[in-house]
Structure 1
Amino acid sequence: MVAITLFGGTGRVGRALGSAILAADDLALAGILGKRHAGGDYGTLLGGDALGIEVVADVDAALAAPSDVVIDYTKPDAVKANVLSALSAGRHVVIGTSGLTAADYDEIDAAARAAGRGVLAAGNFSITATLLRRFAVEAARYVDDVEIIDYGPAAKTDVPTGTARELAEMLGAVAGPSSAVPIAQLTGAPATRGAALGGPRPVQVHSVRVPSYALSCEAIFGADNERLTIRHDAGASTAPYVAGTLLAARRVREWTGLRRGLDHLL
């Protein structure tokens, strides 16, 4: 039985995860962090009977009950501190919150190794989004020119999405030199060319934020007289993220340090 503390358990994905954990035979819910509904019973919040699990607003209070794994689906400005606190408390961690930088991940990896705990982070826990990354990385081995377009709803504040950031970092590690005019040589408004992310060959990422999108990400590859687009579109349901996140929670105790992407578990 894997005991789980759920950070962000009162949010959209968090509630779906909480319900799935409660329904699983091999998982147990140990604690819930959720500032907006602090003080309430989690079972009642989910629309069922009281469970005797109080929603708390403080990280230390959420970690007070023993558990094996912390799952974080909170906010970009809170996730790093949350993860470091969880590692300090001896928990393994699954990170579903986007917005962390490469430097943040380096710090988390060092903390996880020092604590002897495992961390799995993914910008997107859906199987099809994972396949987007895998197929795009394969394409980048044969086609040098690639850029990424990242789509999200108007209210989304972090740019780009975790999916797009991870994809850029993966492509930047294998892609060849771009044939595009270097940013420094452009005229007009160079910022319209997006942000260069990843390395050693950074990839241009363009974030679109307008109503009607859930989350979408596409990699556009261009060669002489031909073009390849590999795209993932998320629907309105949280279901695609739940299965991948719980798979990570079941497996994250198998290693020490940080691993990024659900690819490691496929």
Structure 2
Amino acid sequence: MIRITLAGCTGWVGKALVAAIMAAPDLELVAGVSRKAAGRDLGEAAGLPANGLPVFAGMTEALFVPSDVVIDYTKPDSVKGNVLAAVAAGRHVVVGASGMTAEDYAEIDAAAKAKSVGVLAAGNFSITATLLRRFAREAVKYVPDVEIIDYASPSKPDTPSGTGRELAETLGAERMAATSKPVSELGGVRETRGGAIGAPHPVQVHSLRMPGFVLSCEAVFGLPDERLVIRHDAGTSAAPYVGGTLLAARRVSDQTGLRRGLDSLMG
């Protein structure tokens, strides 16, 4: 039985995870973290029948409850601290929250290796979003010119989304140099070219925030006289993220250190 502490238990994905973990025969939910629901019953806080489990205001308090894996679906301003605290306490961690940089992940990787625990982080735990990343990695072997468009609702607090950032970092590490004129050589309003993410060949990422979108991400590839667009669109339900997150919780202890992307567990 894998004991799980769930941070962000009252969020959009968190509520769906509470129900799914409680229904899984090999998983045991032991505690939740939510500032706004601290002190309440975890089941009731997630809109379910009471289950007698505690909700804590912060990760430090929650880690006093013995667990094996921490799942974090919190906010950009708290996720890094939560992950480092969990790793320091010897817990494996699954990261579904967005907002961390490549430097943040490098720090987490070093901390996890020092404590001999595993961390699995994904910008998106849905299977189809994972396939977007896999197909884009295949395409970039042959088409170096690629840019990413990241869509989300106007209330999303970070740009780009975790999906867009992770995709850009991956493609930036694997593609050849683009043929487009470097942003540093452009005139006019350079910011209209988006933000450069990844290394050694950064990918331009453009983030749209407006009503009508939940989460969407597309990779646009270009060759002379032809284009390829690979796009993922999410609906209003959190269901697509649940299965991938639980798979990660079951497999995160297989290796020490950080792994990025659900595709690291696929096939």
Q: Does 1:177 align with 2:177?
A: yes
Residue 85 of structure 1 corresponds to 85
Give the 5 Å matches for 1:73-152. Answer: 73-152=73-152
Q: Determine the C-alpha separation between the residues in 2 that align with 1:136 and 1:225.
A: 19
Displacement of 1:64 in angstroms is 1.1
| Letter paired with 2:67 | S
Displacement of 1:80 in angstroms is 0.5
Q: Does 1:16 align with 2:16?
A: yes
Cα-to-partner distance string for 1:223-253 (whole Å, 9 max, x where unaligned):
0100110000001010000000000000001
Change beyond 3 A, Cα 1:152–1:47 = closer
Aligned residue for 1:204, secondary structure, equals strand
| Letter paired with 1:62 | A
Residue 156 of structure 2 corresponds to 156
Displacement of 1:212 in angstroms is 1.1
Displacement of 1:44 in angstroms is 2.1
Q: Does 1:196 align with 2:196?
A: yes
Q: Determine the C-alpha separation between the residues in 1 that align with 2:99 and 2:48.
A: 33
Q: Structure 1: which 5+ residue stretches go unaligned? A: none
Change beyond 3 A, Cα 1:50–1:216 = same
Q: Determine the C-alpha separation between the residues in 2 that align with 1:164 and 1:265.
A: 20
Displacement of 1:46 in angstroms is 3.3
Aligned residue for 2:36, secondary structure, equals helix
TM-score when normalising by structure 2: 0.98
Q: Structure 2: which 5+ residue stretches go unaligned? A: none
Displacement of 1:50 in angstroms is 2.1
Aligned residue for 2:174, secondary structure, equals coil
Residue 69 of structure 2 corresponds to 69
Cα-to-partner distance string for 1:33-69 (whole Å, 9 max, x where unaligned):
0111111111222344321112110222211111000
Give the count of matched residue pairs: 266
Runs of 4+ in 1 over 6 A off after TM superposition: none
Aligned residue for 1:35, secondary structure, equals coil
Percent of residue pairs identical: 62
TM-score when normalising by structure 1: 0.98
Q: Determine the C-alpha separation between the residues in 2 that align with 1:179 and 1:164.
A: 21
Cα-to-partner distance string for 1:136-163 (whole Å, 9 max, x where unaligned):
1111111111111000111112000111
Checking the alignment, whether the CA contact within 8 Å between 2:31 and 2:42 is kept in structure 1 is no
Q: Determine the C-alpha separation between the residues in 1 that align with 2:110 and 2:86.
A: 14
User: What is the Cα-based RMSD across aligned positions, in Å?
Assistant: 0.9
